[in-house]
A and B are shown apart, each in its own frame.
Chain A
Amino acid sequence: MSNERGRRRWTVAATTLFILIVLCPVLFIVQMSVRSGLDAFRMPPVLVFRPTVANYVDLVESKFVRSLMNSTVTAVSTTILAMLLGVPAGYAFSRARFRAQRIASLWTLITRMAPPIAFGIPFFLIYKDLGLIDTRIGLVVIYLTFNLSLVIWMMRAFFDSVPRSLEEAAYIDGAGIATAFVKIALPLAAPGLATTAIFTFLLAWNDFFYSLLLTRSEAVTAPVAIVNFMNYESWEWGKVAAAATMIMLPVVALSVVVRKYIVRGLTAGALKG
């Protein structure tokens, strides 16, 4: 009994140590965001210091808040639209049987078959002519282009793991395809929905390349805005750390809220049989 307790203590200690090591960069950024410039690089490092919110106050008073808003609007819009379009498509690919099914599903991946930079210049020129440069709509469209395939393929796998027999039973009871989809398949694939939505949100939220390329000042998102704290003469380390913390917060909060679904979603189908 005491042996088991001892083993458990060691497991807890080892797990805690492992988590601390993994979280080290995050903790470093967070503590740096509340240090003064002098404390940030003092040698030897000062472990006990008077925290300051000056960096956050500077951020709130700067254009960064607008960038954060741009990130929120574009990432949320992308996630909603990608789920609205991609989930039914994933269901269709999972359930329907038609001749070009394999080729069609493969073609949805075409936008992910080359690195983003390959599409950068064409998109810039098209956007310039369409007046979509530096607009939130422009960013949502581009993120949708790339994330839709991810949603379709992920959701298709989740729908594949839902037994068809349940929907067939509903058909016998008089349900149509839409009813079977909404009332049976969708609730059973809920963990998959949460996981896919999170991934889609993260991809849009963290995008740097297209935001850098397709925005100027109005629609700049937070990941690009953070780079602009790197002044020509010296970086504003405190602001960079505070901005990074602010960018991380919504993602961490979202992950905590839906973590139950994420775990279920990631393990769905693992015990199929």
Chain B
Amino acid sequence: MAGITRRRFVKSSAAAVAITAAGVRPSRPLAQTGKPYAGTRLKISQVAHAYAVGLLDRLPLFEGQTGIKVEIDQMSFPVLNQREDLELASNSGAYDVMQMIFIRSGRWIGAGWAEPLNPFIDDAKLTDKAALDVGDFVAGAMAPFRRGDTIYALPWLSDSTVVGYRTDLFEKAGYAKFPETFQALQEAAAKIHTRQTAGFVTEDNLHWIFPNWLLSYGGGFFANPPADLTPTFDTPEALKAAEMFTTMLAKYSPPGGIKLDPSIAQAIMHQGKAACFLDGMGNTQHIIDTTKTTLADRMAFTHTPSGPKGHFPQLAVHGYFINKASKNKNAAWEFIKWAAGKDQMLWSALNKGHLACTRSSVLANAQVRQKFTWRGSDLASLHLAVMKRAGEGYMVYRTVPQFPPVGDRVIIAMTAIASGQTNVADGMKSLQKDAEGILEKAGVKINRRG
């Protein structure tokens, strides 16, 4: 047996010192400063939005506290849709925290691409539950990201459908306040509509706008989502809703009114070329942007009209989730806690004009209420009311995995009917048939009608 030579002893000692140094040296400052994720680099994907600008403004604060380096990729919504879907499907792990687009939540959660957040929330070492206060998120905003008790994302943006309108034009037409029903709105639009000023304008994402009518007239996308996804576009209620809605588009919208991007619809309001704008709060609130219009002092806001079966404003929600393929999940959770935290959301509301908040404490804040009250319209209350109403459960149709292709087909049907390419009965019949085909192809068992 060979003895230990001097050279071997020196080599072994040097190695031992190196290993000890490598093991101990980095951990000391981390432990001392309470920054267990210092040096981690996070990549975030999200839509270009004032909220993201607010995050960027205060990022040095978060980075200073945690030692985590964050890069936020902001992109337009169409780009985000395409890129996130591709990144998740290819399991690339390029982004640690991503934006949960609620109409894709069914597919993404169903495919196991989103990390459940409960283990992070319930771990006292990772989360101060009182500070996070999950219960502060309005139920309607949390609903799309819950599956039973499991939470997959924390919401930071909720877009509620409301109406922004010109008080002077409606008053001139004999309306002291905005019409309460879609029938009354149509009558008012008929009185107001001229070649110069349209009675109504909305955006081109018609599967987002049409349900305001569809549900209010007693119709729906599916028979009983998510249990029964049989499409129900050929019911008398759906046909009536389609007739009412496409009439607004065809007769009382500006030229090209079927295909107006939200920003163009806003510009039409800025120019005074339309009397009212029905869309998400995130879009409608900008019609009073005094850097873009001189008509802001003639505008007000109210809730969407009702139909014979009630009031069904729509709610779109977006949240932050941890990509299952991320290699920095704990650090990602640190970011989400901060980004969707009370402090950041309140700061964004007050400093970045982010009204489409998801926390009730922020919407109830006196300063926020004051900031977002315009000519008597309390936008924060309006928004909160829609979120609470949507929390009753009727929005579940949008989070079934098969919604996106069916929704796209709805846009085609509404466009075809409003542009006169087909009549309501044929258009809806064709929509029903195609929707059945889409669902069956996706393996969904449906009860064929007729």
Contacts and interface: CB of A to CB of B under 8 A. Distances in A.
A218 B150 CA distance: 35
A231 B292 contact: no
Interface string A38-51: 10111100000000
Contacts of A124: 86, 90
B47 interface: yes
Interface residues of A, number: 27
Given A212-B82, A233-B283, A40 B292 contact: yes
A232 B49 contact: yes
Given A40-B292, A212-B79, A234 B263 contact: yes
Nearest to B90: A128
Nearest to B295: A43
Contacts of A213: 82, 86
Contacts of A125: 90
* Most chain B CB atoms below 10 A, which of A216, A230, A231, A233: A233
Interface string B76-114: 111100110010001010100000000000000000000
A123 B282 CA distance: 36
Given A38-B293, A234-B262, A228 B282 contact: no
Given A37-B292, A43-B273, A125-B90, A216 B83 contact: yes
Contacts of B90: 124-125, 128
B293 A41 contact: yes
A227 B86 contact: no
Contacts of B272: 43
Interface stretch (B15-23, B67-75, B180-188, B424-432): B67-75
B72 to A, nearest CB: 9
Interface string B128-158: 0000000000000000000000000000010
A223 B74 CA distance: 15
B311 interface: no
A158 B261 CA distance: 45
Contacts of A42: 271, 294
Nearest to B284: A233
Given A40-B292, A124-B86, A128-B92, A231 B271 contact: no
Given A124-B90, A233-B283, A235-B263, A41 B83 contact: no
Contact of A234 (B82, B83, B94, B286): B286
Interface in A6-50: 36-38, 40-43
A228 B79 contact: yes
B154 to A, nearest CB: 18
B78 A227 contact: yes
A124 B82 CA distance: 13
A27 to B, nearest CB: 19
A234 B79 contact: no
B341 to A, nearest CB: 21
Contacts, number: 87
Interface in B270-298: 270-273, 282-283, 285-286, 289-294
A36 B290 CA distance: 12
A133 interface: yes
A18 to B, nearest CB: 26
A234 B282 CA distance: 8
A111 interface: no
Interface string B20-32: 0000000000000
Contacts of A235: 261, 263
B293 A231 contact: no
B82 A229 contact: no
A14 to B, nearest CB: 29
B266 interface: yes
Contacts of B261: 230, 235
B88 to A, nearest CB: 13
Interface in A87-118: none
Contacts of B273: 43
A179 interface: no
Contacts of B76: 227-232
A213 B90 CA distance: 12
A36 B262 CA distance: 20
A217 interface: yes
* Most chain B CB atoms below 10 A, which of A36, A125, A133, A228: A228
B14 interface: no
B439 interface: no
Contacts of A230: 48, 76-78, 261, 263
Interface string A117-137: 000000011001000011000
Interface of A: 36-38, 40-43, 124-125, 128, 133-134, 212-213, 216-217, 224, 227-235, 237
15 contacts: A37-B291, A38-B290, A41-B292, A41-B293, A124-B86, A124-B90, A128-B90, A133-B94, A134-B94, A213-B86, A216-B94, A217-B43, A230-B263, A233-B286, A237-B267
Given A133-B94, A216-B83, A234-B266, 20 more contacts: A36-B291, A38-B291, A40-B292, A41-B292, A43-B272, A125-B90, A212-B82, A212-B83, A213-B86, A228-B76, A230-B77, A230-B261, A231-B48, A231-B49, A232-B48, A233-B49, A233-B283, A233-B285, A234-B289, A235-B263
Shortest beta-carbon contacts, A-B, top 7: A235-B263, A43-B271, A230-B76, A232-B47, A233-B282, A231-B48, A37-B291
